[in-house]
């Protein structure tokens, strides 16, 4: 990791200093920035020795986790295991007390804030579906579109034909084509979840973080969501935090179990469920 680390420092500097100016020169900034992401070693996310404490309570305790390019990873763990805190660290909401977090080999996540991280290609879905309730479904996707997001550009921005097509395509993918002009606030719970996933897709992320996507969904909706997530992996990496073990079983290839801010076990769902440590943690709970 020391080698990638050095590259990373240079990459971090580049991100902080050069990239904004390059972004000004090339209008399709964030799309280009994604191409600049270097994940040539096959790993898209490196979390190493991440520690976060709140008032002496260690939410994350030297957590180390790697996610591969194109992988669909499920993360499970009892309440308070640090799943949401981990997502907060990756997306820039929480700064860790110690450790390092890299996106590919070249982007130091700890040096960036939330919008930069989002523009670099990490999308996040919240536990509670969060969409823009007073905008139409179409507008929600329009706002999430990858591209230059500077205030001055957007004063005069117009949608191109290509962009309309892309929105239409995403609407179709998340099954909301007929509801395109409806107010997002009027959607059902499940539809909001899908709309939010659609919004993430519009960002053209390389890594998707999805927090409890099927909470409160009907079985049919859950099934559709599983299909959707499976279809997304491969082209992108997807990390899913979920409690619903059946759902995890239906989509996961590798499962990571978090406990008290650390990785307790990692492997296929069967391996993990057979692990005595995991059994103890879950039964103990």
Positions that interact with another protein (CB under 8 A): 30, 54-55, 91, 93, 114-115, 118-119, 123-124, 126, 130-135, 139, 142-144, 146, 149-152, 154-157, 183, 185-186, 199-200, 203
| DSSP states of the chain | -HHHHHHHHHHHHIIIIIHHHHHHHSSSHHHHHHHH---TTSEEEEEEEEEEEETTEEEEEEEEEEEETT-EEEEE--TTSSHHHHHHHHTTSS--SEEEEEETTTEEGGGS-HHHHHHHTEEEE-SS----TTSBHHHHHHHH-SS---HHHHHH----HHHHHHHHHHHHHTT-GGGTTSBGGGS-HHHHHHHHHHHHHHT--SEEEEE-TTTT--HHHHHHHHHHHHHHBTTBEEEEE-S-HHHHHHH-SEEEEEETTEEEEEE-HHHHHH-HHHHHHHHH-
Give least dist CB 177 to another protein, A.
Answer: 21
Give least dist CB 143 to another protein, A.
Answer: 6
Comparing CB distances to another protein, the nearer of 3 and 152 is 152
Judge contact between 258 and 81, C-beta under 8 A: yes
Comparing CB distances to another protein, the nearer of 151 and 276 is 151
Comparing CB distances to another protein, the nearer of 193 and 222 is 193
Find where tokens 């759902």 sit: 247
Give least dist CB 223 to another protein, A.
Answer: 26
Strand partners of residue 67: 45
Comparing CB distances to another protein, the nearer of 23 and 272 is 23
Give least dist CB 181 to another protein, A.
Answer: 11
Around Cβ 79, how many Cβ atoms within 10 Å? Answer: 8
Judge contact between 209 and 122, C-beta under 8 A: yes
Comparing CB distances to another protein, the nearer of 236 and 265 is 236
Comparing CB distances to another protein, the nearer of 42 and 185 is 185
Burial 156-182 (b: 16+ CB within 10 A, else e): eeeeeeebeebbeebbebbbbeebeee
Give least dist CB 119 to another protein, A.
Answer: 4
Give least dist CB 154 to another protein, A.
Answer: 4
Give least dist CB 94 to another protein, A.
Answer: 12
Give least dist CB 199 to another protein, A.
Answer: 6
Comparing CB distances to another protein, the nearer of 21 and 54 is 54
Comparing CB distances to another protein, the nearer of 76 and 122 is 122
């Amino acid at each position: 990791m020391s080698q990638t680390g050095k590259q990373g420092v240079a990459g971090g500097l580049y991100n902080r200093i050069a990239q904004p100016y390059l972004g000004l020169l090339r209008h399709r900034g964030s799309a280009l920035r994604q191409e600049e992401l270097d994940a040539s070693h096959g790993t898209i996310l490196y979390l190493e020795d991440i520690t976060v404490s709140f008032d002496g309570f260690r939410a994350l305790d030297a957590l180390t986790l790697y996610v591969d390019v194109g992988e669909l990873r499920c993360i499970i763990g009892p309440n308070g295991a640090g799943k949401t805190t981990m997502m907060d660290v990756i997306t820039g909401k929480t700064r860790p007390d110690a450790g390092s977090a890299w996106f590919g080999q070249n982007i130091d996540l700890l040096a960036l804030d939330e919008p930069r991280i989002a523009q670099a290609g990490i999308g996040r879905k919240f536990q509670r579906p969060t969409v823009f309730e007073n905008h139409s479904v179409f507008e929600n996707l329009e706002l999430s579109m990858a591209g230059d997001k500077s205030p001055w550009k957007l004063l005069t921005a117009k949608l191109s034909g290509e962009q309309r097509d892309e929105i239409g395509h995403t609407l179709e993918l998340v099954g909301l084509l007929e509801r395109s002009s409806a107010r997002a606030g009027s959607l059902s719970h499940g539809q909001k979840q899908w709309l939010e996933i659609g919004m993430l897709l519009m960002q053209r992320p390389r890594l998707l973080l999805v927090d409890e996507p099927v909470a409160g969904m009907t079985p049919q909706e859950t099934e559709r969501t599983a299909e959707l997530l499976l279809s997304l992996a491969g082209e992108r990496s997807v990390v899913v935090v979920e409690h619903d073990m059946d759902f995890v079983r239906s989509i996961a290839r590798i499962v990571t179990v978090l406990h008290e801010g650390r990785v307790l076990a990692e492997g296929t769902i069967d391996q993990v469920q057979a692990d005595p440590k995991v059994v103890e943690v879950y039964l103990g709970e």
